[in-house]
Chain A
Amino acid sequence: MSALAQARPRTTFRIHPRPRPTELGLLAIVAVAMVVGAAGLGATQRYRAAIEAGSPPTALDFSPPDARALLLYLLGLLVVHALFVLAGRRTDQVLLPAIGMLGGIGLLLMQRLPQDTVVQSFGSLQLGLGQLQLGWLLVALGVITVLALAVRSDAWLRTYKYTWAAAGILLLLLTFVFGSDVNGARLSLSIGPISGQPSELLKVILVVFLAGYLSENRALLADESTRIGPVRLPPLPYLAPMVAMLAIALGIVVVQRDLGAALLFYTAFLALLYVATGRPSYVIGGVALFIAGSYVLYHLFGHVQIRVDNWLDPWRDPQGAGFQTIQALYAFARGGILGVGLGAGLPTIGGRPPVPAIHTDYPLAALGEELGLIGLLAVLGLYLVVVSRGLRIAASAHDDFRSLLAAGLALVIGIQAFIIAAGNLKLIPLTGITLPLISYGGSSLLANAVVIGLLIALSDRGIEPPPPPRPPRAIRRFRLRRGPAT
């Protein structure tokens, strides 16, 4: 053993652990919350089962419904923390606990919903909703760790932005040609046993491309050299690749009938354009274009019409098109301010939860019923923490590309959470996208894990600068006046 160790070059395996007390403290609170939540869930489920069986229990059993899953998840978070400590990089300490809390709430919710909502069998092993979600969460934590620790240079993102854009478009085209239809939208792509929703990954690629393009051309885009009548525009050639990229993405997405993704891409595009140029006129113009586009789409496409009509008056067809919306509203109303408690809500209709697609599109309705308004506000607050943290990373990034990338990644999560939350609450027409980090689904969790992993990597404040070299005493006074400050 000693011969082997000596043969190694000494510099390669130097580990400088750096404690991350903030992260550890916050993770401890996450662990407490998960244990308390699981205890409440387990007790409620047993109590209700006993009452339905006709024998109200005398004592409550506060053991979690799936103790092993809970333990595995908390252990996963702890392992990620330990790896971050060992890596010794000065990265963000708030993001991991924040997404740990969101993922944990999602896990509790998936354990609470009927386990046969989604079942996948691997040989003789059958995994229900909660177990599958746990599996995906652990994979997502792995992705976060790998990206946060392995990404030290952003050159591979920055240099190949057109390649990334092309790969994204290719992915969408593949879905369009070979994809399979889910609920009338061609969303998922299957390669062998693996199937996924490419539009989730595409949002990350879009942000990378936009950040790369805008950071190179932001000064030109803030310029006003082309005039069309009273409208002043930046030089048109510089706007073209971006608009083309967006038009292709939007076009394909509209053809695929994935309205949620289209809305997300467009909003993220406008937000990044504003962050890069600081010109409100872009946003105003973009919103005007959006209104005009929506009007045209409403009259051209039946599926858009159904969504909008359903949003304006779901009671027109309460048993058909409006069923999902109405049931979700009832669920929110049952929850009230404090909620009915995890495990106590959602009286099932014929053995099924009343809101269709509750584990992917409507997790907020379930949370609203069981945790109430208070719980919903807390969940939205957690998203706000992720976004504000991302913007903080953007503000202190070293150059424009990193800054725009961090802002874009954070905003994409925030915008997606807003779109689906507003859709669930009937504030805007419902578009079927996932609630980031809470909804069930591998593609969604993995894409958001990529986002968080990149954000943590971007937050690296670098190795601490070495103390400035001390010049010989004789010339130090001279240099202090006019030398480089280090």
Chain B
Amino acid sequence: MLALWVVRLLFLVVIYGFLFAVVRVLLRDLRAASKGPAELGRLVVLASPRGEPQPGGSYPLDAVTTLGRDVNNGIVLDDPFASAEHAVLTYRGRSWYVEDLASTNGTYVNGVPVEGVGPLGFGDEVQVGEIRFRLDRGRA
């Protein structure tokens, strides 16, 4: 029965057609993801009582990013409670770490003061002075 045989094989062909279409979508998606500059992470401003930096704004992070009131920092914080060189965020191996640079008022991760160097996961909250940030994954 030729017709039966053809229908049978057609079923398999359509399933493979489906797989082919899916793989094309996946490849397109991967290419789009690999095109953009890879960001290691992003610091989102959750709250800043003085409005500078603006809440909701975000900073793309370098592998070593310094925070503080001094203008030479990677992220300048206009906050009277921040030290001139307050903290540094570093990306080592596969994850982020935060180091408090002996600041006067300390650096907090999820409300807990950082002593020396501490790990920082994506989604964690960092507080410097009165400004609160959240560490997010970099945008693709």
Chain B nearest Cβ from A483, distance in angstroms: 7
A392 touches B7 (CB 8 A): no
**Closest Cβ neighbor of B44 among chain A residues:** A484
A33 touches B11 (CB 8 A): yes
**Stretch touching chain B among A37-45, A289-297, A440-448:** A37-45
Does residue B8 face the partner (Cβ distance < 8 Å to A)?
yes
A486 touches B19 (CB 8 A): no
Type the 1/0 row for A253-288, where 1 means its CB is closer than 8 Å to any CB of B.
000000000000000000000000010000000000
* Given A98-B22, A485-B57; A399-B12 close (CB under 8 Å): no
**Stretch touching chain B among A21-29, A193-201, A308-316, A407-415:** A21-29
B119 touches A484 (CB 8 A): no
**Stretch touching chain A among B25-33, B62-70, B80-88, B100-108:** B25-33
B57 touches A486 (CB 8 A): yes
Chain A nearest Cβ from B14, distance in angstroms: 4
B10 touches A36 (CB 8 A): yes
For A37, the chain B residues whose CB sits under 8 A away are 11
A33 touches B22 (CB 8 A): no
B15 touches A375 (CB 8 A): yes
A398 touches B22 (CB 8 A): no
Does residue A385 face the partner (Cβ distance < 8 Å to B)?
yes
Type the 1/0 row for B76-94, where 1 means its CB is closer than 8 Å to any CB of A.
1000000000000000011
How far apart are the CA atoms of A105 and B11 in the complex, in Å? 11
Chain B nearest Cβ from A340, distance in angstroms: 9
For A218, the chain B residues whose CB sits under 8 A away are 95, 119, 121
* Given A36-B11, A40-B11; A482-B18 close (CB under 8 Å): no
A-B CB contacts (within 8 Å), total count: 134
Q: A residues 429-486 with Cβ under 8 Å of B? A: 468-469, 482-486
Chain A nearest Cβ from B135, distance in angstroms: 8
How far apart are the CA atoms of A216 and B33 in the complex, in Å? 27
Determine the interface band of chain A, counting residues with CB < 8 A from chain B. Answer: 35 or more
How far apart are the CA atoms of A220 and B97 in the complex, in Å? 12
How far apart are the CA atoms of A276 and B95 in the complex, in Å? 11
Does residue A72 face the partner (Cβ distance < 8 Å to B)?
no
Chain B nearest Cβ from A437, distance in angstroms: 15
For B136, the chain A residues whose CB sits under 8 A away are 398-399
For B14, the chain A residues whose CB sits under 8 A away are 29, 32-33, 36
Does residue A110 face the partner (Cβ distance < 8 Å to B)?
no
For A219, the chain B residues whose CB sits under 8 A away are 95, 119, 121
Determine which of A93, A375, A382, A398 lies in contact with B122 in the assembled complex, contact meaning CB atoms within 8 Å: A398
**Closest Cβ neighbor of B6 among chain A residues:** A40
For A402, the chain B residues whose CB sits under 8 A away are 123
* Given A25-B21, A29-B18, A396-B33; A482-B11 close (CB under 8 Å): no
Chain B nearest Cβ from A481, distance in angstroms: 10
Does residue B17 face the partner (Cβ distance < 8 Å to A)?
yes
B4 touches A43 (CB 8 A): yes
For B10, the chain A residues whose CB sits under 8 A away are 36, 40
Determine which of A62, A381, A485 lies in contact with B58 in the assembled complex, contact meaning CB atoms within 8 Å: A485
Does residue A389 face the partner (Cβ distance < 8 Å to B)?
yes
B12 touches A375 (CB 8 A): yes
A378 touches B123 (CB 8 A): no
Determine which of A36, A101, A216 lies in contact with B7 in the assembled complex, contact meaning CB atoms within 8 Å: A36
For B29, the chain A residues whose CB sits under 8 A away are 392
Q: A residues 1-59 with Cβ under 8 Å of B? A: 22, 25-26, 29-30, 32-33, 36-37, 39-40, 43-44, 47
Chain A nearest Cβ from B26, distance in angstroms: 7
For A338, the chain B residues whose CB sits under 8 A away are 9, 12
**Closest Cβ neighbor of B48 among chain A residues:** A484
For B53, the chain A residues whose CB sits under 8 A away are 483-484
For B76, the chain A residues whose CB sits under 8 A away are 482
**Chain B residues within CB distance 8 Å of chain A:** 1, 3-5, 7-12, 14-19, 21-23, 25-26, 29-30, 33, 45, 53-54, 56-60, 71, 76, 93-95, 119, 121-123, 136-137, 140
Q: What would be 21 A-B contacts, judged by CB atoms less than 8 Å apart?
A: A29-B21, A33-B17, A33-B18, A40-B7, A40-B10, A44-B8, A62-B3, A62-B7, A101-B18, A218-B95, A219-B95, A219-B119, A219-B121, A341-B5, A342-B11, A371-B12, A396-B137, A397-B137, A469-B54, A482-B76, A485-B60
**Chain A residues within CB distance 8 Å of chain B:** 22, 25-26, 29-30, 32-33, 36-37, 39-40, 43-44, 47, 60, 62, 93-94, 97-98, 101, 105, 215-216, 218-220, 222, 278, 338-339, 341-342, 371-372, 374-375, 378, 381-382, 385, 388-389, 392, 396-403, 468-469, 482-486
Given known contacts A47-B1, A341-B4, what 5 new A-B pairs fall within 8 Å (CB)?
A62-B7, A339-B12, A342-B11, A401-B123, A484-B58
